[in-house]
């Protein structure tokens, strides 16, 4: 296959340019890495930026998976709560992994958005700007193109995207609101967990306020200032009020509330649109399982 780069694709990444003629960005990447793609006679990396008039030659016989069907999992469920030509805001249910990782190769949100989302260096999570844990439900913003992905990442790093969560914690904090300022990194002893007891601390700040006080638990509204892995769960454990249903980080199993996962929901996203400048302000109600757990925590025996 020989392709001459047209003016409208000047500056495109090589893997993105080949995604359509080869059927997917994944296949394009595989062929590039196998040495089956040359640009003006030279082997280049997948992120190589093309110029108008360059000749791209593809040897499809170099594909190591030639003739082998890609494994296909069930598509991940999600709801779109905002969409325009540049980005989407999606509401992710609990149980859905955001992008492929060890042990979760199929059925991810990123795969469900294939062909609809774009941007970023890794084609396996194209368009993904930030993530939620598998068992955390709620709102995520996803880019549709490279420029929007870069702009959203800049907003995130500048802390100009408001991310608020609702979480039910054990006990009651001593103040109605507060800030937890404690660096987080990989736990010294359990390497699969994050912790404030770490050899590689990174800045982390979480703000909270009491939304509703209950007999043995408290519903908090939490706002992230930074976005470290498991930050809310780690920080709330650190102040002695772990998330209900989160035994990994000091909470009970949640069986008394009917929980089968941590009570943590990304409930509110607010940011200035990176292209038009208008405010995107979206909210997500607590899903049914968390509403039922909240009713039990309040002592509603009908829950």
Q: Which residue has the higher pLDDT, 137 or 2?
A: 137
Neighbours of 288 (CB within 10 A): 8
Neighbours of 280 (CB within 10 A): 18
pLDDT of residue 206: 98
For 80-91, what is each residue's pLDDT tens digit?
999 999 999 999
d(CA 160, CA 138): 19
For range 274-299, the mean pLDDT: 96
Which tokens sit at 185? Answer: 């990194």
Flag whether pLDDT at 68 surpasses 70: no
Residue spans of the domains in the chain: they are 2-62, 74-157, 159-303
- Provide the pLDDT confidence category of residue 57 given band limits of 50, 70 and 90: very high
Contact 237, 264 (CB under 8 A): no
For 217-250, what is each residue's pLDDT tens digit?
999 999 999 999 899 999 999 999 999 999 999 9
Query: Hey, is 178 helix, strand or coil?
Result: strand
For range 251-277, the mean pLDDT: 95
- Tell me, letter by letter, the H, E, C secondary structure of 4-20: ECCHHHCCCEHHHHHHH
Compute, in degrees rounded to 10, the torsion defined by CA atoms 267, 117, 146, 138: 10
Q: Where do we find the tokens 């609990």?
A: 94
Q: How many CA atoms lie within 13 A of 181 on its CB side?
A: 2
Would the pTM count as exceeding 0.85?
no
Indicate the average pLDDT of the chain. Answer: 90
pLDDT over 90 for what percent of the chain?
Answer: 66
Which tokens sit at 172? Answer: 């009651």
Flag whether pLDDT at 258 surpasses 90: yes
Phi then psi dihedrals of residue 232, to 5 deg? -60, -45
Name the active-site residue from 133, 135, 246, 289. 133
Which tokens sit at 156? Answer: 């995130």
Compute, in degrees rounded to 10, the torsion defined by CA atoms 57, 32, 28, 62: 70
Q: Is 187 noted as a catalytic residue in this protein?
A: no
Flag whether pLDDT at 302 surpasses 50: no
Query: Hey, is 153 helix, strand or coil?
Result: helix
Same fold, 2-62 and 159-303: no
Beta strands 217-224; 205-213: pairing state? antiparallel
- Provide the pLDDT confidence category of residue 65 given band limits of 50, 70 and 90: low
Query: Domain spanning 159-303: which superfamily?
Result: Pseudouridine synthase (3.30.2350.10)
In angstroms, how far is CA 135 from the centroid of its own chain? 12
Give buried/exposed letters for 26-45 (b at 16+ CB in 10 A, else e): bbbbbbbeeebbebeeeebe
What is the CATH number that goes with domain 74-157? Answer: 3.30.2350.10
pLDDT of residue 66: 61
Handedness of CA 286, 290, 295, 297 (dihedral sign): negative
26-40, 91-105, 258-272: the lowest-pLDDT one: 91-105
For range 67-78, the mean pLDDT: 63
**Exposed, middle or buried by CB within 10 Å (0-12, 13-18, 19+), for 74?**
exposed
pLDDT of residue 83: 95
Neighbours of 255 (CB within 10 A): 9
d(CA 68, CA 248): 39
d(CA 142, CA 131): 10
In angstroms, how far is CA 274 from the centroid of its own chain? 18
For range 153-173, the mean pLDDT: 96
pLDDT of residue 200: 83
Query: Domain spanning 2-62: which superfamily?
Result: RNA-binding S4 domain (3.10.290.10)
- Provide the pLDDT confidence category of residue 212 given band limits of 50, 70 and 90: very high
For 99-135, what is each residue's pLDDT tens digit?
776 455 678 898 889 889 999 877 778 899 999 999 9
pLDDT of residue 125: 81
């Amino acid at each position: 296959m020989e392709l001459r780069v047209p003016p409208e694709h000047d500056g495109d990444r090589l893997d993105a340019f080949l995604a359509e003629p080869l059927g997917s960005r994944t296949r394009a990447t595989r062929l590039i890495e196998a040495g089956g793609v040359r640009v003006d006679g030279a082997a280049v990396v997948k992120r190589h930026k093309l110029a108008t008039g360059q000749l791209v030659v593809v040897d499809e016989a170099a594909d190591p998976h030639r003739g082998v069907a890609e494994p296909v999992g069930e598509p991940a469920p999600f709801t779109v709560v905002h969409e325009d030509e540049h980005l989407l805001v999606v509401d992710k249910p609990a149980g859905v992994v955001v992008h492929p990782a060890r042990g979760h190769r199929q059925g991810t949100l990123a795969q469900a958005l294939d062909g609809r989302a774009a941007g970023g260096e890794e084609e396996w999570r194209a368009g993904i700007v930030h993530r939620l844990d598998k068992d955390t439900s709620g709102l995520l913003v996803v880019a549709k193109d490279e420029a929007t992905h870069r702009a959203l990442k800049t907003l995130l790093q500048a802390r100009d995207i408001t991310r608020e969560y609702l979480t039910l914690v054990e006990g009651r904090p001593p103040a109605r609101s507060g800030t937890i300022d404690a660096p987080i990194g990989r736990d010294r002893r359990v390497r699969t967990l994050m912790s404030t007891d770490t050899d590689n601390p990174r800045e982390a700040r979480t703000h909270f306020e009491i939304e509703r006080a209950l007999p043995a638990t408290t519903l908090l509204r939490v706002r992230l200032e930074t976005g470290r892995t498991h930050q809310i769960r780690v920080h709330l454990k650190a102040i002695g009020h772990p998330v209900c249903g989160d035994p990994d980080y000091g909470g009970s199993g949640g069986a008394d509330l009917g929980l089968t996962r941590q009570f943590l929901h990304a409930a509110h996203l607010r940011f200035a649109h990176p292209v038009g400048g208008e405010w995107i302000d979206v909210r997500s109600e607590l899903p049914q399982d968390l509403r039922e757990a909240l009713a039990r925590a309040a002592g509603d025996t009908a829950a």
